[in-house]
Amino acid sequence: MHQLKRSAWLLLLLPLSVAIHCKKSADNNDVVAPADPATIKDSVIVTGLNFPWEILWGPDNHIWMTERGGRISRVNPATGTVTTVFTIPEVVTNGEGGLLGMALHPNFSATPYVYVVYNYNSSGGYREKIVRFTYTGTTLSNPFPLLENIAASSIHNGSRLLIIGDKLFVTTGDASNTALPQNTSSANGKILRLNLDGSIPADNPVAGNPYWSFGHRNPQGLVFANNILYASEHGPGNDDEVNIIEKGRNYGWPNVAGFCNETAELSFCTASNVKEPVKAWTPTIATAGLDYYNHDLIPQWKNSLLLATLKDARIYQLKLDNSFSAVTATAEYFTGKYGRMRDLCISGTGKVYICTSNGGNNDRIVEIGKQQ
């Protein structure tokens, strides 16, 4: 998440901080709002949660959820009942760290694997690992580590999981160390690609290396649609991003924030095969969970990315063009109504579910449907 500057530093460095804050104001692209914004109905279905981080629409028509403290639950969207599946004892919460992303095996009924990523303490300090569990029908068993000993911190841990076909994609943050994203020997500041058993695919950019793309600061959203992998990423004091992820590409951090539009950035981008974002925000909005909507239930949202934000405390609709590679219009919903929003998921019928990230056992899941 964003590193907040202390007021004293702002006073001492006012000319610099203003320059940073105002850098690349054109990055917002100033795209227009849709001509017919959606008329939708929202209602709270679950209360009393504590920092939910991932919500997934499961094949059992329940919402699968992680909370940062280590709990994995199933939520009945019809009743709001939350059933604890398992609490991972090894999880250590430190600042923004803890139990983060989750993914379910695509053939879950036959192969009931649950993949999670979380932070823990080891002899080397605070770390992150990816672990596969087996769902027994009531709880999780047989933890199998896929990748361990990833550097972690109280901020910038990523970490979203996504399964595409027979590959597992994982976003990792720079763990507060800006030397790591450009170092392809480090797993940090990357989007990683693994086989579902934790082995490294032979067709990754570098043999024996789990990275798929690099130069990331803190990506917290990941979705695959239209044969395109989209990711959302936290910038520093400027340039939150939505990116299209391509094999082996460099996304610039810490040498580039947002678009390649400053002298030093232009040189680095040319030399380093940097891929620019499709959308960037200055001031930052704290981009978090990302999904793709293409259902008839809310027709105004069709062919749109939906983005949850923390700092801006709203949902952004990012309407895509026919090539699915450019944002043509934006709309904003629920500004400040529910507080910070961490993630969202979409049911098979087109309803959207959002989880908040306010803490203090005051977090909720909100259901969004079509206004009757």
pLDDT computed for residue 30 by the predictor = 52
Lowest-confidence pick of 157-171, 250-264, 333-347, 358-372 = 358-372
User: How far apart (Å, rounded) are the C-alpha atoms in residues 1 and 286?
Assistant: 7
Indicate if the pLDDT at residue 8 is higher than 70: no
Cβ proximity of 282 and 239 under 8 Å: yes
Per-residue burial over 249-268, b = 16 or more CB atoms within 10 Å of its CB, e = otherwise: bbbbbbbbbbbbeeeebeeb
Domains of the chain: 28-370 (2.120.10.30)
pLDDT of 371 reads 77
Helices (H) and strands (E) in the chain, counts: 3, 24
- Please give the average per-residue pLDDT across 153-161, as a whole number: 97
Tens of pLDDT along 179-202? 999 999 999 999 999 999 999 999
User: How many CB atoms neighbour CB 210 within 10 A?
Assistant: 24
Does residue 202 sit in helix, strand or coil? coil
Q: With contact defined as beta carbons under 8 Å apart, do 237 and 20 qualify?
A: yes
Backbone angles phi, psi at 12, to 5 degrees: -70, -35
- Calculate the dihedral angle through the C-alpha atoms of 17, 18, 24, 29, rounding to the nearest 10 degrees: 120
Q: Which of 90, 72, 21 is nearest to 239 (CA)?
A: 21
In this structure, what DSSP letter does residue 27 have? G
Tell me if residue 156 is catalytic: yes
pLDDT digits (tens, 9 = 90+) for 304-320: 999 999 999 999 999 99
The model's confidence at residue 11, banded by pLDDT at 50, 70 and 90, is: very low
Whether 131 and 144 have beta carbons less than 8 Å apart is answered as: yes
Q: Confidence band (pLDDT; 50, 70, 90) for 343?
A: very high
Rounded to an integer, the average pLDDT of 332-341 is 96
pLDDT at 297 over 60: yes
Compute CA distances 360 → 31, 69, 357, whole Å.
Answer: 37, 12, 9
The order of strands in the sheet holding 219-225 is 219-225, 228-233, 240-245, 279-281
Among 234, 204, 238, 209, residue whose Cα is nearest residue 219:
234
What is the spatial distance between Cα 15 and Cα 78, in angstroms, rounded to a whole number? 53
Which of 156, 216, 234, 295 is flagged as catalytic?
A: 156
pLDDT for 39:
81
Segment 143-150 mean pLDDT: 98
Write out pLDDT tens, residues 15-68. Answer: 333 333 334 444 554 566 665 677 899 999 999 999 999 999 999 999 999 999
Mean pLDDT across 151-178:
98
